[in-house]
Chain A
Amino acid sequence: MNASRFTLSTAVLALAAVSLSHAAFPNLGELGDKFKKAEGTATKVGKVVKGATGLSLEEEIAVGDAVSVEIVNRFGGIWRDDAATQRVNLVGRALARYATRQDLAWSFGLLDSPAVNAFSAPGGRVFITRGLYRRLDSDDKLAGTLGHEIEHIDQRHALKIIARGEFLSGVTGLVSERSRDFAQFDQAISAITTQILEKGFDPNTEFAADKGGRDLAATTGFAPGGLRAVLALLRKDTGGTSRETFSTHPPLDERLKRLPNDPEPPAASTVSAK
């Protein structure tokens, strides 16, 4: 635990104690009000500087950029189709408008790979492979797929790997230029990319992203059954057994079982103009 985190934790504990004593001794109102004011200020300062995982936005973006480099390197580079890229950004940014995290500059890209998969990098960058994109014939299905990936970022799933590991100081040190220890930073990126690109998140994390993505799509006004329709289509195509299809995700049957039984959206119910 570094000094600033220790100070913040101590302040929070102290303020929590003050809050409790304020409730127990109402006559200490004036003093309590002063502390309450200080508590609000401390909370604001602490939370603006660091997110829930102990990383600042700047640090998250640095990690996300490095993870993006790995994703693009391993999946054939970016598929430079202008119209398709603008379509995924139109639908993706419509969803991102209602995402929890409004501190991010979201962007959505296509990978030049026939594999059927999608990935997200911390900091707000989402990728879909060409193989998956070509199966998404309506904006409802595209929104369901992008919503799932947005939720991974919104819920900071990848960053939690850093937060619970020994890599935190490596990331914060390098980004703040207190250290030039590239090895620690690179180890953190390796841990994340191994999880995202090889092992995949644990099933419960994926199910949470499915649920959140479905809800985000519905809140934005897309058919809630978009993601379900994509998963059902892929299961039909592959029998749910292909190692190439969502290979880093839990089995399609398991994911379908956990999603609400939403009706399939009408074919091409909404297709963006671009």
Chain B
Amino acid sequence: MKTTLPSRRAAFAALACLASATGVFAFQKGDTAFAKRAETNLLAEPSPLAASVGKAAFAESLAVGEVRGAWLQVKGKNVNGWIFEGNVAAQKPTLAPAAGLTSVNASSTNTVAAARPLSEAGAAYAGRHQGGNARTDLDWLEKTAAKTKPSDVDAYLKANKKGEYRQ
């Protein structure tokens, strides 16, 4: 009995979390969603491993035809397909991802991992405001942050069944 209670509690908590998480899905049939990456693959089925049937361009409006869990069946400009809800925005995004910031992978793209030095204006500000140590610290931070590659993020999501890999 003692051994089963915690697992029952854990299972109940997990179910409660899932039930609550379903309340997060904002999109409904008839809504318009907007692609928020430079390019996003639309998939043949609601699964991250499904074949691509076409691409949605940045800020392309997508008519939601069906909602299945966290996946949306959408009609784009040229093609119909499935897309994970996390890959679209409810409001039209305004600034396009810079070239090279994202790449196409399954239905999603990856956040950039390269270390970015302080901008010229930021570095000059540090110089004017006794921010020499802060500048060195921020350089260290950017280099350390860059060690977390998009492939690490993808592996983490897969291993923990998160993002489009959640079931």
Which residues from chain A sit less than 8 Å from chain B, CB to CB? 47-48, 50-52, 57-58, 61-62, 64-66, 68-70, 72-73, 77-78, 80, 82, 85-86, 89-90, 93-94, 96-98, 100-103, 105-109, 139, 174-175, 182, 185-186, 189, 215, 218-225, 260, 262-266, 269-270, 272-274
Instruction: Report, nearest first, the 3 A-B pairs whose CB atoms are least far apart.
Output: A65-B122, A221-B162, A98-B86
For window 60-92 of chain B, which residues contact chain A by CB distance below 8 Å?
70, 85-87, 89, 91
Instruction: Apart from A65-B138, A69-B134, A80-B140, list 17 A-B contacts with CB within 8 A.
Output: A50-B94, A64-B122, A65-B125, A73-B129, A77-B137, A86-B144, A94-B153, A185-B121, A186-B129, A189-B125, A215-B26, A218-B24, A221-B21, A224-B17, A224-B21, A225-B17, A273-B159
A193 to chain B, nearest CB (A): 10
Known A-B contacts A93-B148, A221-B161, A260-B20; the reply to A103 vs B95 at CB < 8 A is yes
In the assembled complex, the Cα of A90 lies from the Cα of B101 at a distance in Å of: 17
Known A-B contacts A82-B144, A219-B24, A219-B86; the reply to A102 vs B37 at CB < 8 A is yes
Asked if residues B163 and A69 are in contact (CB atoms below 8 Å), the reply is no
Give the residues in chain B near A97, CB-CB below 8 Å: 86, 108, 110-111, 153, 157, 163
Asked if residues A96 and B21 are in contact (CB atoms below 8 Å), the reply is no
Known A-B contacts A105-B101, A223-B17, A262-B17; the reply to A186 vs B125 at CB < 8 A is yes
Asked if residues A106 and B138 are in contact (CB atoms below 8 Å), the reply is no
Known A-B contacts A73-B134, A94-B157, A221-B163; the reply to A102 vs B109 at CB < 8 A is yes
Asked if residues B163 and A94 are in contact (CB atoms below 8 Å), the reply is yes
Asked if residues A266 and B129 are in contact (CB atoms below 8 Å), the reply is no
Asked if residues A57 and B95 are in contact (CB atoms below 8 Å), the reply is yes
In the assembled complex, the Cα of A264 lies from the Cα of B98 at a distance in Å of: 38
Which residue on chain A has the smallest CB distance to residue B25? A219
Cβ-based interface call for B104 (8 A): no
In the assembled complex, the Cα of A264 lies from the Cα of B14 at a distance in Å of: 10
B118 to chain A, nearest CB (A): 5
In the assembled complex, the Cα of A215 lies from the Cα of B160 at a distance in Å of: 18
Which residue on chain B has the smallest CB distance to residue A222? B162
Asked if residues A260 and B111 are in contact (CB atoms below 8 Å), the reply is no
Q: Interface code B114-132, partner A: CB below 8 Å = 1, 0 otherwise?
A: 1010111111111011110
Cβ-based interface call for B50 (8 A): no
B11 to chain A, nearest CB (A): 10
In the assembled complex, the Cα of A90 lies from the Cα of B85 at a distance in Å of: 21
Residue from the set B122, B123, B166 with the largest chain A CB neighbour count within 10 Å: B122
Asked if residues A89 and B125 are in contact (CB atoms below 8 Å), the reply is no
Asked if residues B157 and A265 are in contact (CB atoms below 8 Å), the reply is no
In the assembled complex, the Cα of A269 lies from the Cα of B14 at a distance in Å of: 9
Q: Interface code B139-167, partner A: CB below 8 Å = 1, 0 otherwise?
A: 01110110110101100110111110110
Asked if residues A103 and B145 are in contact (CB atoms below 8 Å), the reply is no
A84 to chain B, nearest CB (A): 10
Give the residues in chain A near B134, CB-CB below 8 Å: 68-70, 72-73, 77
In the assembled complex, the Cα of A57 lies from the Cα of B152 at a distance in Å of: 26
Cβ-based interface call for B13 (8 A): yes
5 contacts between A and B (CB under 8 A): A48-B95, A57-B95, A107-B116, A219-B85, A265-B13
Asked if residues A102 and B101 are in contact (CB atoms below 8 Å), the reply is yes
- Which of A48, A85, A174, A270 has a CB less than 8 Å from the CB of B160? A270
In the assembled complex, the Cα of A265 lies from the Cα of B18 at a distance in Å of: 11
In the assembled complex, the Cα of A78 lies from the Cα of B109 at a distance in Å of: 30
Give the residues in chain B near A101, CB-CB below 8 Å: 36, 93, 95
Asked if residues A98 and B163 are in contact (CB atoms below 8 Å), the reply is yes
Which residue on chain A has the smallest CB distance to residue B58? A102
In the assembled complex, the Cα of A98 lies from the Cα of B102 at a distance in Å of: 12
Asked if residues B20 and A105 are in contact (CB atoms below 8 Å), the reply is no
Known A-B contacts A102-B97, A182-B128, A263-B17; the reply to A90 vs B87 at CB < 8 A is no
B52 to chain A, nearest CB (A): 18
Asked if residues A61 and B70 are in contact (CB atoms below 8 Å), the reply is no
Residue from the set A86, A90, A269 with the largest chain B CB neighbour count within 10 Å: A90
Give the residues in chain A near B13, CB-CB below 8 Å: 263-266, 269
